[in-house]
Structure 1
Amino acid sequence: MIRKCFTIASAVMFALLLVGNASAAPRPKAEDPIARLAVKASPMKANALEKLYAGRTWKWTSGGGYFSAEKTKVWLLPASRNKFAAQVRNGTHWSYAEGTWRATDDGELCMRASWFSNDYRAGTQAVTCFLHRETNGVIYQKPSIGGKWYVFRNNPVRKDDEVRKLVNGDRVSTAVARIKASGR
């Protein structure tokens, strides 16, 4: 009997806590105007994403990632993934990655790579994805997990657009090869 009363009391307390938390929750902020525009735009198709990224390096503050146009074989699957390489250096700390990238027809670009660094020699697997939506030549982008939508490319392109950090050619693989050869 005591156990039954305790169970009922626990359930009632849990329900009260839920109701209390629901009424105490902060009101959501007004939605970001860029997010509203991005949601109205259409997801980019895989071929449009491949045209945008293939054969280019995305320059970052302390390194970059190269999206090869060359297809690579993954396990027993036919050649269906593009090679990806990245390199980051902050002072004496360095990291590099090797893996693949892919684009989907729902506007997602994903990089799957093993990262190595002078702090941790064993490869750490990481998957990073970005969502892309486009309307009238304007491309919106956001990390697929968390993050906010932002304008990746305006129409016409502006000097501070993120798309300008996508530069032609491989600006990464030589540095990755040098790091690997040095045994660091």
Structure 2
Amino acid sequence: MYPIHSIIVSTALSALLLAGNASAASKAQVDDATAKLAAAASPMKAVALEKLYVDRTWKWKDGGGFFSADGKQFTAWSRKRAAWSYAEGRWYAINGGKLCLRARWSSKMDWSSKMERDGAVTCFLHREKDGVIYQKPSLGGKWYVFRHNPVREGDESLKLVKGDRVSKEVSRLKDIRR
């Protein structure tokens, strides 16, 4: 049985499709419905976020980031064609549903601004209700379902895979940079 939020979103989307209005208006309405459901959910505790991310790699389309248990080290890499970069830093979770990454990104074209020396900070907000996890970037972005209950194909949470899938590539990229 699906949680009530899934039924609400599905019903709203179905009604729009039947009306022949499944364009940008339906996307906006689904986004609004998801935002309302996220607002009604509770911010996740730091311990729950740590359990979700620790010792996992978040696989991205063009790379990934690893959340180690050892000192909460964060390593990542990204590549689009010949352009590549890697990151090293730390990650931390805060009660209130915030997961943050502070990492210095490097590439073959080294940057030297203060932000890169100190590390850029990126945070994500997480809220949960009835086993459904909502996520959004803390600055801008929209709420989306990170993990349904039960988990569905296409959930972003399925991209969190056990183990370190990035350190070997980060080491390789560091060697290229030298």
TM-score bracket relative to the smaller structure: 0.7 to 0.9
Report the residue type matching 2:64 in the other structure: G
Aligned residues: 146
Structure 1 stretches of 5 or more lacking a match?
1-28, 72-81
| Aligned counterparts of 1:183 and 1:166: Cα–Cα separation in 2 | 28
1:160 corresponds in structure 2 to 154
After TM superposition, where is structure 1 displaced by more than 6 Å over at least 4 residues in a row?
none
**SS across alignment from 1:51:** helix
Tell me what 1:93 maps to. Answer: 83
Other-structure match for 2:25:
none
Alignment CA distance shift 1:159-1:175 (3 Å): same
CA distance in 2 between partners of 1:47 and 1:62 (Å): 29
Q: Is the 8 A contact 1:154 1:161 kept in 2?
A: yes
Residue 101 of structure 2 aligns with an amino acid whose one-letter code is: M
- Which range moves more in the overlay, 31-40 or 114-123? 114-123
- Superposed, which structure 2 residues align to 1:120-135 within 5 Å? 120-122=110-112, 124=116, 125-135=119-129
| Corresponding residue SS for 1:70 | coil
Match of 1:34 in 2: 34
Q: For 1:87 and 1:173, locate their aligned partners in 2 and report how far apart those are by CA, in whole Å.
A: 9
* 2:171 is the counterpart of 1:181: no
Query: Would you say 1:53 and 2:43 are equivalent positions?
Result: no
Percent of residue pairs identical: 60
29-38 or 99-108: bigger deviation: 29-38
Matches within 5 A, 1:99-114: 99-114=89-104
- The alpha carbon displacement at 1:91 in A equals 1.0
Shift of 1:111: 0.1
Query: 8 Å contact 2:57–2:65 — kept in the other structure?
Result: yes
Q: Helix, strand or coil: the match of 1:49?
A: helix
Give the Cα separation in 1 of the matches to 2:161 and 2:146: 14
Aligned partner of residue 100 in structure 2, secondary structure: strand
Instruction: Tell me if structure 2 keeps the 8 A contact 1:93–1:119.
Output: no
User: Which amino acid is the alignment partner of residue 139 of structure 2?
Assistant: I
When normalised by structure 2's length, the TM-score is: 0.78
Shift, 1:121, TM fit? 4.8
More helix as a share of residues: 2
Whether 1:119 aligns to 2:109 is: yes
TM-score (structure 1 length as normaliser): 0.76
2-structure distance, mates of 1:161, 1:119? 34
1:171 corresponding residue in structure 2: 165
Decide whether the 8 Å contact of 1:43 with 1:132 is kept in 2: yes
What one-letter code is carried by the residue in structure 2 that aligns with 1:167? V
Structure 2: state its 5+ residue gaps. 1-27
Structural mapping, 1:11-26, within 5 Å:
none
RMSD: 1.5
Q: Output the amino acid matched with 1:178.
A: R
